[in-house]
Amino acid sequence: MSWRLRVVHTTGYGYDVPVVGSFNEARLTPRADGRQNVIMNRVETVPSTRSYRYVDYWGTAVTSFDLHAPHTELEVTGSSVVETEPFAGPSEELSFDELRSDAVVDRYDELLTPTGYVPRDRRLATVARQLARGVPPAKAVVRAAEWVHREMDYALGSTSVHTSAPQAFAERRGVCQDYAHLTLVLLRSMGIPSRYVSGYLHPMPLAPIDQTVAGQSHAWIEAWTGGWWGYDPTNNIAVTEQHVSVGVGRDYADVPPLKGIFSGDGTTALEVLVEVTRLA
């Protein structure tokens, strides 16, 4: 079943003293792929800026803008209407021997290599071997996500955007970013190409039409077992029409919704609001 969703993501910055210049990148445009059709998207700022768009190395749409007039506030709003469908599951299921072939390893090397958020971890590698034993890769993906969901407690504020997967696992607490990173450690230890996905989640499976609710910035994973498909370890479900994907990459560092630099001495205050509406 397909959904049509409107997503409005607003981020506000406040500065103690005027900022004389800032340079920014926004990843707020949903992906257009086999599961999603983007009907409308715009990224607006207050104060207004000139912007340009490009697609980054990983295939994520980026809106880049800079502001050179002194300002004490900056508001960035991404507004989108997108049609979504659930993932049908892996289009083709390869064996572990096929995934370990030179051709696959060479093609997906960057999505098998450890990163700062998803490093090698001996203990988690042992867990990964146990989870993959006796099952095909697609089943191992689900087992890994189920294990993360079972072992971790969801706790807002328990980690930060800088927390790595092993650090979150040491506390057995985290948020969706940590669940995704921890699952990626397991999958890459198994030799399954996998990537981090950022986006949004409508919180209501039976959402009424035209009711605007507080949405969630969210993260999950996609695995390649012959084709790309998604799974949400935080909620322990396959990716559904409630999920709107925006960016993909090796880990969170490749897909932050907003990043930039500014020149000035003031500290910043940050407010984020996500609203989602099921339109059809």
**Domains of the chain, first to last:** 3-85+256-278 (2.60.40.2250), 96-254 (3.10.620.30)
The pLDDT of residue 96: 97
Place of tokens 């006796």: 134
* Distance, CA of 92 to CA of 89 (rounded, Å): 9
Burial class (CB in 10 A: 0-12, 13-18, 19+), 123: exposed
CA dist 81 and 41 (Å) reads 7
Q: Residue 89's pLDDT is what?
A: 75
Rounded to whole angstroms, the Cα distance separating 178 from 154 reads 9
Q: With left for phi above 0 and alpha for psi between -120 and 50, is residue 157 left, alpha or beta?
A: left
Write down the pTM of the prediction: 0.96
Kind of pairing, strands 61-67 and 173-174?
A: unpaired
Work out the end-to-end distance of the chain between its first and last CA atoms, rounded to an integer number of angstroms: 11
Taking a C-beta distance cutoff of 8 angstroms, is the pair 272, 217 a contact? yes
Is residue 159 a contact partner of residue 174, using CB atoms and an 8 Å limit?
yes
Q: Which two tokens stand for residue 59?
A: 């295939």
The pLDDT of residue 266 is 66
Secondary structure E strands in the chain = 3-19, 21-26, 36-46, 50-55, 61-67, 71-84, 153-154, 173-174, 194-201, 212-214, 216-224, 228-232, 237-238, 243-249, 258-263, 268-278
Reading the block at residue 219, the tokens are: 């993260």
Task: Return per-residue pLDDT of the chain as tens, 280 residues.
Answer: 899 999 999 999 998 888 888 899 999 999 999 899 999 999 999 999 999 999 999 999 999 999 999 989 999 999 999 999 998 777 678 999 999 999 999 999 999 999 999 999 999 999 999 999 999 999 999 999 999 999 999 999 999 999 999 999 999 999 999 999 999 999 999 999 999 999 999 999 999 999 999 988 999 999 999 999 999 999 999 999 999 999 999 999 999 999 998 887 666 778 999 999 999 9
CA nearest neighbour of 67 among 257, 253, 247, 264: 264
